[in-house]
Copies of this chain bind each other. A is one copy, B any other.
Amino acid sequence: MSANASTNDRILDAAERLFAEEGFHATSLRQITQAADANLAAVNYHFGSKQALLLAVFRRRLDALNQARLERLDHVLDAADPPVLEDILKAFVFPAMALTHGRHHEGQRFMRILMRAFADQDEQLHRALSAEYAHVMRRFADAIATALPGTEPVHLRRQLDFLVGALTHTMAESELEDAESIASDLVRFTAAGLRGTVQPIARSGARRAMEIAR
């Protein structure tokens, strides 16, 4: 299958596999190009640098992940109004878990790179990805605000960061046997954390109107 693929794709596939198996820095471009049946210089030609190659590997997976999240979120928002908090959180957590435990072993590998490189490295990659998927975070924050009216936006963004941290850490850490059970725990934990720390905004006209409307 990868034999017929373009050089670009063969390099991406080989890089993802090797990064996950050996680690980013432990993998040399010579290993990658050899596995991809390409010339050493092909990496710099197609991607610019080793760092940029890593970014491309990420993007391919994260695009799919975040699209799956948003689609699931849409379904949740269509199903109930106001939406159920737990369902929103599941829409965020479960596609990530599915990625690591799909039938393709690649996904499982991938999340280890994700977790590792999410923190590691050059600041650039991290900031690039954060900015690229900021709109996903905002859509989830908005949805949660709908499910939990009266939430202070600043605190909500922070708490979403708590969730992201817990999720990535757990996924990279756990032995991945009982991933579904862990995901459920995380959703329950986060829902309780959010419900328990709702910061009602200072009483304003809008807030009072909302109370009346209920």
Contact = CB atoms under 8 A, between A and B. Distances in A.
Contact of A162 (B122, B166, B195): B166
Given A118-B119, A121-B116, A189 B185 contact: no
Contact of A165 (B24, B121, B166, B197): B166
B172 A119 contact: yes
A118 B168 CA distance: 12
A197 B155 CA distance: 21
Interface in A88-115: 115
B182 A189 contact: no
Main secondary structure, interface of A, reads: helix
Contact of A159 (B122, B167, B168, B189): B189
A119 B182 CA distance: 19
A23 B119 contact: no
Interface in A189-207: 189-197
A195 B195 CA distance: 11
Contacts of A182: 158
A164 interface: yes
Contacts of A167: 165
A166 to B, nearest CB: 4
A25 interface: yes
19 contacts: A23-B120, A26-B122, A116-B121, A118-B119, A119-B119, A119-B120, A119-B172, A120-B121, A155-B185, A158-B170, A159-B189, A161-B166, A164-B169, A165-B166, A165-B168, A166-B169, A168-B169, A188-B197, A193-B196
